[in-house]
Amino acid sequence: MRMTTINWIQTAFYFFTILGIWLSWITFKANQRIKRAEWLQSLFEKFYEGSHYKQVRRWLDFEDLLIKELGNDAEHIINDGDHIKEEMLADYLNFFEFIASLEKLKQLSLKEIKLLFAYYLNRIKDIKLCTDYIEKGSYKNLSNLLKRV
């Protein structure tokens, strides 16, 4: 049985429609990966390249400096009246609370968070002053994230 011209046109139409859908899907996924990479880059730049969190990163890198500047425990930070230092630590932890919230909303994966921020999340976990402050400050999402990092 021979295909008529109409059948050939119909078959070609289906083929090119499926090909177009497939190419559109590939383009969409590629653009989605690019946008995600740009978004992750902006988080990276905000945290590592900006100066906003630099002092607190320095404190965490050198724990003895943290204790010297902020005191031995979270109560000292909260009650000593040094609001600038407390705000700096709170801003820093709020950044990670935001990251933890994005992970909870499935906007970031745990793998992505670990790739970008594992060192500082582990530093937060390892420093009692930070964990005390997290518990007193109701950083629930961050607290849950730290248990899984």
How far is Cα 12 from Cα 63, in angstroms, rounded to an integer? Answer: 68
Locate tokens 């630590």: which residue?
Answer: 89
Q: How far apart are the first and last CA of the chain?
A: 65
Closest C-alpha to 133, from 98, 103, 91: 91
Percentage of residues in the chain with pLDDT exceeding 90?
54
Residue 66 has pLDDT above 90, yes or no: no
Higher-pLDDT residue of 79, 118 = 118
Higher-pLDDT residue of 55, 63 = 55
Residue 76 has pLDDT above 80, yes or no: no
Quote the pLDDT of residue 81. Answer: 52
Q: How much is the mean pLDDT over the chain?
A: 86
